[in-house]
Each structure stands twice: as C-alpha cells, then as structure tokens.
Chain A
Amino acid sequence: MHELGVVFEVIKTVKNFVDKNDLTKVDTIVLQIGELSSMIPKYIHECFPAAIDGTEFEETKLVIEIIPAAAICKGCKHVFNIIKHKSQCPECESLEWGMLTGKEFSIKEVIAC
C-alpha cells in the first residue's frame, strides 16, 4: 500500500524531532494534507496503527487537517475552490488561475512534553 511507506516516513521525522528536542511523550501528531495531494487521509489513518506498533509512539494519536484546493483567478482575482468549481472561476468563468493551496503534505505540529 502506497500510504504505508509514507506513514513510516512521518514517524521517522517525528522521532528525529523528539530526539532533537528532548521530548518524552508525544500525545498527538498533526498532519496537513491538501485536497489535491496524492495522499488519501482515510488510508493514512488506517496505516497509522501499523507504523506505530512496537515503537515509543504506540499511544500517540493522529489528527489530519485537510487543506482546501484554493486558486486565485488571473482575470478577476476571485478566490475559489478548484474541485468544487471544476477548475473554472465561478465569477468570470476564466480557466486561467494560480493555485494557492491544496498540494500540502506536511507535519504541522506535535502535542508533546
């Protein structure tokens, strides 16, 4: 499964962060996933227990924040959701736009002590 290797990568990054900052316990890991990223949040959640099994993060919770696929129209500067409006500006119907957010795939923060 595609998401599994990625979740292992998340755990690796968090482990580095924990070691570097002398943390003892991670309560929650918060990820940000854009609507247009290639990752499916449901599968990330399903793979997570396998990735933390037998590690120091066995009791750690996972939270995923979804970032909307937002674009700004090059014509009228209207900001709209790319998926909802099928890649077309709902104001002026232009197809020329720049992406603002939606491809994110990052670790936002951890709640830890």
Chain B
Amino acid sequence: MKNFKILEIKEGIFDNNNKEADLLRAELKQQNNLLINLMSSPGSGKTTTLVSTINALKDEMKIGVMEADIDSDVDAHTIANTGTKVIQLHTGGMCHLDAEMTKQGLEGLGSEGLDLTILENVGNLVCPAEFDTGAAKNVMILSVPEGDDKPLKYPLMFSICDVLLINKIDAMGFFDFDLEAATTRVKKLNPNIKVFPISAKTGEGVEAWTNWLRGAVKDWQES
C-alpha cells in the first residue's frame, strides 16, 4: 500500500497563466512593443477591421499581426496582402490562446523592432476572456448584426476589454440595433471602456479608433 497523503496546492486555476502573462507583458514593455489582443465572435469583421487599421498606420509604425485560428490560414493571406508581417497560429482545436502560445507566436513572428503587434484571437466570446495573453490592451469587436444585447450574454468579455469597436454601423438600418442601449449596457459592466462605432467597410469612424491606437502606442513607449 502506497503512502498517500494530502498536499495543499491552494492555487487559482489561472494563476500559472497569469504569471506567464505578466512576464510576457514586462518583456514587451522592454522592447517597446504594444501587444493588442483583438477578440470577437466569428464573422464580426476582425480581419477587415485589421486591414483598415493597418492601412491607416503602416506608414508611421512597424506593425506585426498574429492570426490565431483553430485551422486554415485564409485570414493570414488577407493580412499579408497589406505588406505587413504576419504569422498564422493554429491552436489545434483549442478555443483560445494563452500566454505561452502567444509568446511562441511572437518568437515565430520575429517581433523585435515592432511598435505594434496585433493578436487576432480565436473568434469566441467566452474562453479568450478567461486567459490573459500578456497583451497590454484588450480590444473587442461587436458587430451590428449580432445585436445590442450581447453585453448581457457575455458579461466577462465586456468587463475585461479596454476598447469596444462596434462594427458594421453602415448596416444599422437593416437591424434593430440600438447603439445607445448597447453603449449603456457595456458601460454598466465596465465604466472605463472606450467605445468606437465604426464601419471597417466604408471607413466611417475608423479614424477615431486609429487615433486612440496611435496614442496607446505612444504611451506604451514613453511611459
């Protein structure tokens, strides 16, 4: 009979990942590289938003993109067409990225010398909210066809984000989307969140968002 005994661990399940994420954030700070974790549902227009963001900023800073998907590399091809450095990460069936996978992605991308790296997380509003990737800022996209009640359904995701982009506002007329109601619901969960209504397709509102992003890069590099 083996001598089993009770050994206390008393560790939160996310503690390990949180520690790795903090280390990665400190490393990126040293390198003056602002890492943005971009999250949303599938089909909200993440890749289109990225393309218009890159086109607005690529002449003034060095940008890298990490595309995380369970499979395929269609998004990486779209981004590569903008001339930006991009790497496709496959999560192998996992529904989110953690800090360790993000770190490996940055190494694969060759992130040295970059001012801004955008991580396009797996399209999912549940799991990515639980795992700190090591990003300096969390940004999420909510698109008009998804409905203004999304914040009520996925409160954690809206609580952890610094910025909310409400995309596809050009389609507002076709859907019962109440911009004011959506903003109120989000602010109730997270009073500090910045909300930018945009249309990645027409370019409407994109400048306010890229101005914020430009400021965030500057703050990260100078503070």
A contact set with B: CB distance below 8 Å: 1-2, 4-6, 8-10, 12-14, 16-17, 21, 23, 25, 27, 31, 38, 105-113
Contact = CB atoms under 8 A, between A and B. Distances in A.
Contacts of A113: 2-5
11 contacts: A2-B126, A5-B94, A5-B95, A5-B96, A13-B9, A17-B9, A25-B4, A38-B156, A107-B11, A109-B6, A112-B7
Contacts of B127: 2, 5
B170 interface: no
Nearest to B7: A110
B126 to A, nearest CB: 5
Contact of A9 (B7, B14, B126): B14
A25 B8 contact: no
A9 B16 contact: yes
Which of A13, A21, A27, A38 is the most central at the interface, judged by chain B CB atoms within 10 Å of its CB?
A13
B153 to A, nearest CB: 13
Interface string B125-150: 01100110000000000000000000
Contacts, number: 75
Interface size class of B (residues with CB under 8 A): 20 to 34
Interface of B: 2-17, 94-96, 98, 126-127, 130-131, 156
Contact of A105 (B8, B12, B94, B131): B12
A14 B9 contact: yes
Contacts of B3: 113
Contacts of B2: 25, 113
Contacts of B15: 13
A25 B3 CA distance: 10
A73 to B, nearest CB: 23
A48 to B, nearest CB: 13
A109 B7 contact: yes
A10 B5 contact: no
B16 A13 contact: yes
A111 B10 contact: no
A36 to B, nearest CB: 12
Given A10-B13, A13-B13, 18 more contacts: A1-B95, A4-B95, A5-B94, A9-B13, A9-B17, A25-B4, A38-B156, A105-B13, A106-B9, A107-B12, A108-B8, A109-B6, A109-B8, A110-B9, A111-B5, A111-B6, A111-B7, A112-B5
Contacts of B9: 13-14, 17, 106-110
